[in-house]
Chain A
């Protein structure tokens, strides 16, 4: 089982749609979780951290399910500018570095 697994997509959605991505991780001792966004041929940028209680930032909602070892990202009212690859990122406990999923590509069309 891969350390961090994501559906590569692409997810093609119209503007205004709601879209959800899931991610699973294999290390049950992982301590911190993040969603990063990466535009084509650019560097990854932190979108949001993921807390056990779930958290929301504007149109974005992140959830963590430790029992099932999965993380989700919900995007409401999709904008054209949301088109990007969304990276699920895990910081395993006792490790010093981030583990990235391969990413899920989102394409928002007019």
Chain B
């Protein structure tokens, strides 16, 4: 059973370009989460999606960032008109159930992909 897949692993963009980051969840998982880790910082939640629905986008910047998880295909995190401050590692995670379901924390486990390292020149 393949784990969470992310591509590309490394992405270089110039200021003003668009960045598209892809995430394929583990088989059987329908919940996807995106996190951003800035240099020397902890992981920060960005958005939580289920198939075709955004459940929680409270961590997404108001402008330039969008995410989707279509019925078919991977989840996409899209950053328009990138700036240097967008340089970071972007991690995707997936889970079988939504956080809070089940009686034990094990049901909440989120499995992380290897991340995409975005560098904006």
Cβ of B113 to closest chain A Cβ, rounded Å: 6
**Beyond A31-B100, A96-B98: 5 further Cβ-contacts under 8 Å?**
A44-B112, A45-B112, A49-B104, A95-B56, A102-B41
Chain B residue nearest to A49 (CB atoms) is: B105
Interface residues of chain B, those whose CB is within 8 Å of chain A, are 33, 35, 41-45, 48, 55-56, 59, 89, 91, 98-100, 104-106, 108-115, 117
> Is the pair A100, B42 in contact by a Cβ cutoff of 8 Å?
yes
Give the A-B pair count, Cβ closer than 8 A. Answer: 63
Q: Would you call A44 and B91 a contact (CB within 8 A)?
A: yes
In-complex Cβ contact of A91 among B99, B111, B114 (8 A)? B99
**Nearest opposing residue in chain B for A33, CB measure:** B105
Instruction: Report if A98-B106 is in contact (Cβ < 8 Å); known contacts: A43-B115, A87-B42.
Output: no
- Is the CB–CB distance between A87 and B43 below 8 Å? yes
Q: Which A residues lie at the B interface, using CB under 8 A?
A: 4, 31-34, 41-46, 49-51, 87, 91, 93, 95-103
* Chain A residues, Cβ within 8 Å of B106: 49
* Complex contacts, B115 vs chain A, CB 8 Å: 42-43
**Chain B residue at minimum C-beta to C-beta distance from A51:** B105
Whose C-beta in chain A lies nearest to the C-beta of B109?
A46
A45 cross-chain contacts in B, Cβ below 8 A? 112
CB-based contact A98/B105 at 8 Å: no
Contact, CB under 8 Å: B43 / A96: no
Contact A96 B100 (CB under 8 A): yes
Offer 16 A-B interface pairs, CB within 8 angstroms, sorted by A.
A4-B42, A31-B100, A32-B99, A41-B117, A43-B113, A43-B115, A44-B91, A91-B105, A95-B99, A96-B48, A96-B56, A97-B45, A97-B59, A97-B99, A100-B35, A102-B41
